[in-house]
Amino acid sequence: MLLFVGLGNPGPRYAGNRHNIGFMAVEAIARRHDIAPWRRKFQGVAVEGTIERRRVLLLLPGTYMNESGRAVAEAARFYQLGLADIVVFHDELELPPGKLRVKTGGGNAGHNGLRSISGHIGNDYKRVRLGIGHPGQKHLVEPYVLNDFAKSEKPWVETLCDLIADNAALLAEGKDSAFQNKVHLGMAAKGFGEDTEPAGSD
């Protein structure tokens, strides 16, 4: 069993926020691979399914971002999962909008969701870092991530989530570099390259 965790804040108020792109990516995986229905479980909502013969639990914590680790730890204990079985999808200020990087372990770069997860289960889980860009100044970060994506940003957000869903089997098989390259090439083919800019703090 693999655990794919999307990070975000629960409820309609936050649904379109930049901070919720992790939720968006995991929801896209569920749609693309016909994994349903979501049920209340593990202090959030979860659904089990199969991606290329690999059993996967998709989890969206309902604990708010800074307590995400509680939900992840509960699911990991239930299925007796090791850190190598856990993949966390999250927004990344230090990557340009539309860029994606896969890494295992490392620092949390001030991300409260990652900090909470690392505090509960340890640090060496896999992260799929989804670039949203940086507003430029530290004091603008909170309003920036807690604002919705601008209308002009939605095409690249939807394309990125679709490409993640299309290529999720590579991630499930541990082919991280191939997954990352497929998404990168797919974004470039759709015209989302180095010039994709953040829309500011709205």
Q: Would you place residue 198 in the very low, low, confident or very high pLDDT band (cuts 50, 70, 90)? A: low
Helices then strands (H, E): number in the chain?
A: 7, 7
User: Is pLDDT of 56 > 60?
Assistant: yes
Q: Which of 141, 167, 11, 155 is nearest to 89 (CA)?
A: 167
Beta strands in the chain (DSSP E): 2-6, 39-41, 44-51, 54-61, 86-92, 100-104, 126-131
User: Is pLDDT of 107 > 70?
Assistant: yes
What are the distances in angstroms from CA 117 to CA 41, 72, 194?
17, 7, 31
Q: Would you place residue 112 in the very low, low, confident or very high pLDDT band (cuts 50, 70, 90)? A: very high
Q: Would you place residue 109 in the very low, low, confident or very high pLDDT band (cuts 50, 70, 90)? A: confident
Backbone conformation region of residue 53, classed left if phi is above 0, alpha if psi is from -120 to 50, else beta? left
**Burial class of residue 191 in the structure, from the number of CB atoms within 10 Å of its CB (0-12 exposed, 13-18 middle, 19+ buried):** exposed
Say what the pLDDT of residue 110 is: 84
Q: Round the average pLDDT of the chain to a whole number and report it.
A: 94
Q: Hey, what CATH class is 2-189 in? A: alpha beta
Tell me the HSE value of 41 on the side-chain side, using a 13 A CA sphere. Answer: 14
pLDDT tens digits for 142-154? 999 999 999 999 9
Q: Which of 15, 4, 9, 6 is nearest to 149 (CA)?
A: 15
pTM, two decimals, is: 0.95
Phi, psi of 95 (to 5 degrees): -110, 145
What is the set of active-site residues? 19
Say what the pLDDT of residue 201 is: 43
Cβ contact 1:53 at 8 Å? no
Say what the pLDDT of residue 108 is: 87
- Locate the domains of the chain by residue range: 2-189
The token duo for 89 is: 């999808």
Q: Which residues is 88 bridged to in the sheet?
A: 5, 127
Mean pLDDT of 95-108: 94
What are the distances in angstroms from CA 33 to CA 42, 119, 134, 166, 191?
22, 31, 32, 9, 25
Lowest mean pLDDT among 8-12, 28-32, 108-112, 160-164: 108-112
Q: Would you place residue 57 in the very low, low, confident or very high pLDDT band (cuts 50, 70, 90)? A: very high
Say what the pLDDT of residue 202 is: 42
pLDDT tens digits for 63-81? 999 999 999 999 999 999 9
Would you report the helix, strand and coil content of the chain in percent, each value rounded to 5?
A: 45, 20, 35
Say what the pLDDT of residue 77 is: 98
What are the distances in angstroms from CA 6 to CA 50, 72, 121, 127, 199?
17, 10, 16, 10, 23
Say what the pLDDT of residue 114 is: 97
Say what the pLDDT of residue 152 is: 96
pLDDT tens digits for 158-182? 999 999 999 999 999 999 999 999 9
- Amino acid letter, residue 176: D
Phi, psi of 47 (to 5 degrees): -155, 140
